[in-house]
Amino acid sequence: MIRGRLKLRDDRGQSLVLVVLFLVVLLGISALVLDVGHAYLVQRRLQASTDAAALAGADGLPTVAAATALANQYGAGGSNAPIGVDGVQMSVSTSCITTAPGCAPVNAVSVTESASVPTIFAKVLGINSFTVHASATACSPCASRPLDIMLVLDRTGSMCTTDTGADDHPQCTDMANARDGLEAFLGIMDPSLDHIGFAVLPPAASQTDACPYTAGPYTSPNDNYVLVPLTSNYASLTTAINCVQPAGTTSYANALESAQAELVKDGRPGVQKVIVFMSDGAANTGPTSYPQSSPYRATPCHQGIASSQAIQAAGTIVYSIGYDVGHAACEGLNKNAQGKYVQGAEQPAITAEQALQGIATSGDYYSQPTPADMAPIFSKIADDILSGTSRLID
Residue 7 has pLDDT above 60, yes or no: no
Report pLDDT digits (tens) over 233-268.
999 999 999 999 999 999 999 999 999 999 999 999
Residue 333 has pLDDT above 80, yes or no: yes
Q: What is the pLDDT of residue 1?
A: 45
CA distance 125 to 201: 79
CA distance 280 to 250: 9
CA distance 203 to 227: 8
Q: What is the pLDDT of residue 102?
A: 65
- Number of alpha carbons in the 13 Å side-chain half-sphere of residue 308: 27
**Average pLDDT of span 339-361:** 96
Q: What is the pLDDT of residue 13?
A: 56
| DSSP code per residue over 370-386 | SS---HHHHHHHHHHHT
| Domain ranges within the chain, ordered by starting residue | 16-139, 147-392
**Average pLDDT of span 362-390:** 88
Report pLDDT digits (tens) over 159-192.
999 877 899 889 999 999 999 999 999 988 889 9
More confident residue, 19 or 1: 19
Least confident of 26-30, 32-36, 108-112, 128-132: 26-30
75, 111 in Cβ contact below 8 A?
A: yes
Residue 319, strand partner residues: 276
**Average pLDDT of span 356-383:** 93
Cα 209–chain centre separation: 33
Q: What percent of the chain shows pLDDT beyond 90?
A: 58
CA distance 209 to 221: 17
**Distance set, CA 257 to CA 166, 199, 323 (Å):** 32, 10, 21
144, 269 in Cβ contact below 8 A?
A: no
Instruction: Indicate the pTM of the whole model.
Output: 0.74
pLDDT category of residue 312 using cuts at 50, 70 and 90:
very high
pLDDT category of residue 59 using cuts at 50, 70 and 90:
confident
State whether residue 67 is helix, strand or coil: helix
Q: What are phi and psi of 261, to 5 degrees?
A: -60, -40
**Average pLDDT of span 24-28:** 63
Q: What is the pLDDT of residue 309?
A: 98
Q: What is the pLDDT of residue 270?
A: 95
Q: Angle, to 10 degrees, between the axis of helix 173-188 and the axis of helix 234-243?
A: 170
Average of per-residue pLDDT values in the chain: 88
CA distance 337 to 349: 19
Pairing of strands 194-204, 147-154: parallel
State whether residue 180 is helix, strand or coil: helix
Q: What is the pLDDT of residue 18?
A: 64
Those residues with Cβ within 8 angstroms of residue 33's Cβ, 6 or more apart along the chain or in another chain: none
State whether residue 132 is helix, strand or coil: strand
Pairing of strands 272-279, 317-323: parallel
Name the DSSP letter for residue 326. Answer: T
Q: What percent of the chain shows pLDDT beyond 70?
A: 88
More confident residue, 321 or 55: 321
Sign for the pseudo-dihedral over CA of 77, 81, 87, 91: negative
Q: What is the pLDDT of residue 83?
A: 66
First-to-last alpha carbon distance for the chain, in angstroms, is 87
Q: What is the pLDDT of residue 132?
A: 87
**Distance set, CA 370 to CA 151, 156, 216, 287, 367 (Å):** 21, 17, 28, 30, 9
CA distance 5 to 304: 120
Residue 81 has pLDDT above 60, yes or no: yes
State whether residue 113 is helix, strand or coil: strand
Name the DSSP letter for residue 165. Answer: S
Integer Rg of the chain from CA: 34
Q: What are phi and psi of 183, to 5 degrees?
A: -70, -35
154, 281 in Cβ contact below 8 A?
A: yes
User: Which residue stretches of 59-166 are H helix?
Assistant: 64-74
Topology given in CATH for the domain delimited by 147-392: Rossmann fold (3.40.50)
Residue 149 has pLDDT above 80, yes or no: yes
CA distance 78 to 69: 10
